[in-house]
Chain A
Amino acid sequence: MLKFYLPHRKEGEKIILLLRRHRFIILTKIAFWTIVALMPLALYLILGQELQPFLSHELISPIVVLFISIYYLYIWLFAFHSFVDYYLDVWIVTDHRVINIEQKGLFNRVISEQELYRIQDVTSQFKGIFSTMLNFGTVFIQTAGEHPRFIFKQIPNPHKIARKIIKLVEQNKKFRSVMQGKDKITT
């Protein structure tokens, strides 16, 4: 069974789908921070000889050491934060509801949820070269609730996921109608 922090978990509720953005998204971020980390080295390789007298000056070199330390510490921090952002942006489909959890910065976490039976329409979309080639895209879930549209962003296999959600919604609606029928008989 899939395990994750589930807000307001209902009794016996099972996680059916636990979705994050495609790995390509986190790889692009890692690639970006790697390039940023390599930039000073490239600069030193190109301009090393010209910069040498400046960098080895007894008053400048301490500041350069501090700057390099801060530079790499913060690149490391930002890269880690990119991972945290990626890891904590989650879309969960359980056997009762869909949950949208988005980490927007360190101190802003948005959680919205909707019951499966309220879902009216599910659409999948591929947009762009990488999206088409690597099979990731967006799934739009139209609901009848307060939060009219749920968007699963850059998830892998969007078409397959959309079909799976439609199937779950149908099962949930059937289950509810059976349960309501039973309630009417007993009353």
Chain B
Amino acid sequence: MIGIPISIFYFIYLAFVGVFLLFTLFNVYHLVRFGFLSIANISIIVFYIGMSIMMLLVSWYYIGQIDWQQVIPIVPQFESLT
């Protein structure tokens, strides 16, 4: 069957997650480098990282249940008339 493999969307998703992680790193770096490491500041960084890990784990749980071998057909399929 000719079509678009849905795994393409998975790879696009991974690219977005990569950018997310990169920007997370920059934000945390800025807070550590330029803000004073008070308990409140550290708590917010830990809370943010903890929530991010949780969101990624929940996403991973659902994404893991998907069959990524499926293909979105481009050419319309005609069912047998008989």
Interface residues of A (CB under 8 A from B): 3-5, 58-59, 61-63, 65-66, 69-70, 72-74, 76-77, 80-81, 83-84, 87-88, 101, 103, 106-107, 109
Contacts and interface: CB of A to CB of B under 8 A. Distances in A.
Contact of B26 (A4, A59, A106): A106
Contact of B66 (A65, A101, A106): A65
Interface residues of B, number: 33
Nearest to A7: B34
B64 to A, nearest CB: 10
Given A69-B13, A70-B16, A106-B23, A4 B55 contact: no
B66 A84 contact: no
Contacts, number: 82
Given A62-B6, A62-B66, A65-B66, A73 B52 contact: yes
A4 B35 CA distance: 6
A3 B38 CA distance: 9
Contacts of B70: 58-59, 62
